[in-house]
Amino acid sequence: MSDEPLVSVTMPVYNDEDFLEEAILSILKQSYENLELVIVDDHSTDSSWEIIQKFEEKDFRVRAFRNEENMGIPKTRNRAFSESRGKYYAILDSDDVSSLNRIEKQLEFMEKNEEYGAIGSQIIIVDEDSEKIGHRKYPTSHEEIVNVLPRYNPIAQSTIMIRSQILEEDIGYYNEEYERCQDYDLWFRIALNYKIKNIDEFLVKYRVVKEKKLPT
């Protein structure tokens, strides 16, 4: 186990008590086990922090942090990165669900293809009851992704895995000035120097609720 790369799965949380447990379990039950789940609660006002603490008590791989005040999503995502220790940073939002082999599949590709800086996947769209209501397919090859980047965002944020070295030593974290498109900006910066790919498999269930729009 210790010889395998550590993967840090980052999860920002704000008032997601209805879906949080399902999201956390989808990471803790991964087929690839050498991971840590870095959860940053952005000062939730519901029971999210209590749910997070219960999981931290049960599984040593859960590392929980809480902002002293509500900081917003870019700063919360960046704090999760700063607290992470893995060779790779993966992202899962607290109302989405990873397939149980997601980390294994993405890690296998990244370990064999060092020229790639990040990898995503296709998504299944689910509703508030976790029922499938659709799906979305994104371009898979680096060439296709770069071609469409100027026109729309071709990567679903909750599917991404990134080499930590790129963020820590090269391009930096999310731009905290961008409240709603911080991921889009990050993909541009990664693509300037590294290849990006989407696995042509549905590895994440993306949840659509009233306050959350479909990714572009």
Residue 212 inside a domain? The answer is no
CATH number, domain at 164? 3.90.550.10
Tokens at 4, concatenated: 């395998």
How far is 52 from 133, CA to CA, in rounded Å? Answer: 28
Residue 176 inside a domain? The answer is yes
Q: Where are the beta strands (DSSP E) in the chain?
A: 7-13, 35-41, 62-66, 88-91, 97-98, 116-126, 132-136, 161-163, 195-207
CA distance to 40, 106, 115, 120, per residue, from 193 (Å): 29, 20, 9, 17
The parts of the chain modelled with pLDDT lower than 70 are 1-2, 211-216
Residue 151 inside a domain? The answer is yes
pLDDT value at position 1? 47
Residue 187 inside a domain? The answer is yes
pLDDT value at position 214? 53
pLDDT value at position 5? 92
Residue 183 inside a domain? The answer is yes
pLDDT value at position 2? 58
Could you give the number of structural domains in the chain? 1
